[in-house]
Amino acid sequence: MNVHDPRPPGASGLSVRDLAVNYGPVTALRGISLDVPRGAVVTVLGGNGAGKSTLLRAVSGTLRFQRGGITSGEVTLDGVKLSGAATSAVVARGVVQVPEGRRVFARMTVEENLRAGALGARDRRSAAEARERVLELFPVLAERARQRAGLLSGGEQQMLAMGRAMMACPEVLLLDEPTLGLAPLMAARIAETVREINAQGTTVLLVEQNAAMALSLASHAYVLEVGEIALSGPAAELAASDEVRRRYLGVGGDAGDPPARPDGAAVRRPALSRWSA
Ligand SMILES: Nc1ncnc2c1ncn2[C@@H]1O[C@H](COP(=O)(O)OP(=O)(O)OP(=O)(O)O)[C@@H](O)[C@H]1O
Ligand SMILES: [Mg+2]
């Protein structure tokens, strides 16, 4: 380790400790602790409104754009505090989010969308290298380079959203439900690309409702229920557990009483209905 390196020895990866997030008076997350070691794919599963996107926003420093804020706890990368930093500073540290809903600049071409993702690149050469790598990951983006992004299919737009994020050469990629609403074949292609991105050295925090897909990619999984972690463990163990399948993945049997919200209101238990991909 370099003498100027501020990282404490031994700390490697993304770490969330006792995190609480509010949107105004509404508590969306409470007591969240999780680890994403460098090189890993870690998934956070949960139904609608569980707080998955909120968690990613807390990591990427984008909560303030949603009128939300961290009320306690912290996020660190390699032991150095990330929470509280501006979004641009988080990106500069190599942490990049692909937001839910595959948002692309619809009126811009595919090429222009990718170029927008490279704005944070260190120099022109690394931008060119990143572009080459992105087009290898998503050959369809090369074929459609001059097409307006709004005319791409849903799956292609997801690829573009991911490709744009990869233009920033992230060390940690935050993916928010990348397969939502996609046909099984397209979802499988996205999953394969996530695997490839990870194999090339990028750490991935994947938020999903598609539990089968996410558990097949991840080494470790957390289940989020109305703002709190209900369960965590090695992905293979969670995937194999009858209890998990019954209670959290919507497979068979009685789902039990609905959990209470952190703010006390009653809600329906979020069912992960897409267990079978
Ligand atoms: N901008 C916001 N202002 C107020 N409340 C919000 C805001 N965004 C989210 N919430 C609330 O915070 C809670 C968690 O929402 P979040 O979007 O993080 O859930 P999610 O797990 O990503 O759900 P989904 O699967 O539907 O995307 C919900 O109760 C939601 O209503
Ligand atoms: Mg969400």
Question: Which two tokens mark 276?
Answer: 């079978």
pLDDT band, very low/low/confident/very high, at 120 (cuts 50, 70, 90): low
Structural domain includes residue 116? yes
Which residues have their alpha-adjacent CB atom under 5 A from ion ligand 2? 52-53, 100
Do 189 and 140 belong together in one domain?
no
Residue of 44, 26, 86, 15 whose CA lies nearest to 235:
44
Has residue 29 got a pLDDT over 80? Answer: yes
Residue of 104, 79, 37, 27 whose CA lies nearest to 58:
27
**Rounded Cα gap, residues 253 and 246, in angstroms:** 6
Q: Which atom of ligand 1 is found nearest the CA of 52?
A: 21
Among the candidates 122, 142, 169, a domain finishes at 169
Q: How far apart are the first and last CA of the chain?
A: 44
Structural domain includes residue 70? yes
| pLDDT for the residue 241 | 80
Has residue 209 got a pLDDT over 50? Answer: yes
| pLDDT for the residue 5 | 58
Do 10 and 138 belong together in one domain?
no
- pLDDT tens digits for 181-192? 999 999 999 999
Q: Whole domain around residue 81: which residue ranges?
A: 1-94+170-277
pLDDT band, very low/low/confident/very high, at 7 (cuts 50, 70, 90): low
Do 138 and 174 belong together in one domain?
no
Task: State whether the beta carbon of 247 lies less than 6 angstroms from ligand 1.
Answer: no
Structural domain includes residue 74? yes
Domain count within the chain: 2
Has residue 135 got a pLDDT over 60? Answer: yes
| pLDDT for the residue 257 | 45
Task: State whether the beta carbon of 52 lies less than 6 angstroms from ligand 1.
Answer: yes
Do 277 and 192 belong together in one domain?
yes
Per-position DSSP letters for 80-127, written without gaps between them:
EE-TTS-HHHHHHTTEEEE-TT----TTSBHHHHHHHHGGG-SSHHHH
Structural domain includes residue 150? yes
Structural domain includes residue 101? no
Helices 184-199 and 154-166 pack at an angle, to 10 degrees, of 10
Do 89 and 131 belong together in one domain?
no
**Cα distances (Å, whole numbers) of residue 16 to 56, 76, 206, 261:** 11, 7, 15, 21
Do 216 and 147 belong together in one domain?
no
With contact defined as beta carbons under 8 Å apart, do 140 and 80 qualify?
no
Q: Which residues pair with 220 in a beta bridge?
A: 42, 234
Has residue 276 got a pLDDT over 50? Answer: no
Distance from the alpha carbon of residue 30 to the mean position of ligand 1, in angstroms: 13
With contact defined as beta carbons under 8 Å apart, do 222 and 230 qualify?
no
Task: State whether the beta carbon of 57 lies less than 6 angstroms from ligand 1.
Answer: no
Q: Which range is least confidently modeled, 125-134, 192-201, 213-222, 235-244? A: 235-244
Do 17 and 81 belong together in one domain?
yes
Do 29 and 51 belong together in one domain?
yes
Structural domain includes residue 56? yes
Do 180 and 125 belong together in one domain?
no
- pLDDT tens digits for 222-244? 999 999 999 999 999 998 887 66
Question: Which two tokens mark 225?
Answer: 């229920």
pTM of the entire predicted model: 0.88
Pairing between β-strand 228-234 and β-strand 220-225 as defined by DSSP bridges: antiparallel
Do 90 and 198 belong together in one domain?
yes
Q: How many CB atoms lie within 10 A of CB 152?
A: 21
Has residue 1 got a pLDDT over 50? Answer: no
Among the candidates 169, 201, 220, a domain finishes at 169
pLDDT band, very low/low/confident/very high, at 16 (cuts 50, 70, 90): very high
Atom 1 in ligand 1: which residue has the minimum CA distance?
66
Do 73 and 38 belong together in one domain?
yes
- Region 200-221: mean pLDDT is 94
Do 277 and 184 belong together in one domain?
yes
